[in-house]
Amino acid sequence: MKRLLSICFALFLFAQVSWAEEPHKYSALIEESRDAVVLVATESESGQGGFGSGFLITDDGIVVTNYHVIHRNTNILIWFYDEDDPRHYPATVLAIDPVSDIALLQIEVKPRLLPLEFLDIEGDKEEIRVGDAIISIGHFLGLDWTVTRGYISHINRPNRISPYISLIQHDAAINRGNSGGPVINTEGNVVGVNTYAFLSKNEHMGAAYALRGDILDEIVEELIEKGEVVRPGLGLKLLQLNEFSRARLIKEHVGQTFPNTFGLLAVEVVLDSWAYKQGLRTFDSIIAVNGIPVNGLDDLTDEVKDLSVGDVINLIIIRDSVFMELTYELKVLEFDYMKFYDDRVAKQKRGSGNDGIR
Distance CA 275, CA 270 (A): 8
For residues 229 and 338, what is the distance between their CA atoms, to the nearest angstrom? 16
49 bridge partner residues: 43
Catalytic residue positions, numbered: 68, 101, 179
Contact between 52 and 358 (Cβ < 8 Å)? yes
Nearest by Cα to 157 from 171, 146, 168: 168
- Measured at the CA of 93, the angle between CA 146 and CA 190, to 5 degrees, comes to 40
**Dist CA 301 CA 294 (whole Å):** 10
CA 288 to chain centre: 27
Backbone φ, ψ for residue 278 (5° rounding): -85, -5
Max distance between CA atoms of the chain, in angstroms, equals 75
**DSSP H/E element including 235:** none
Euclidean distance between CA atoms 324 and 306, whole angstroms = 25
Which residues, 6 or more positions from 317, have their beta carbon under 8 angstroms from its beta carbon?
Answer: 280, 284, 285, 286, 287, 323, 324, 325, 326
Q: CA–CA separation, 33 vs 51, rounded Å?
A: 20
CB-CB contact of 257 with 320 (8 Å): yes
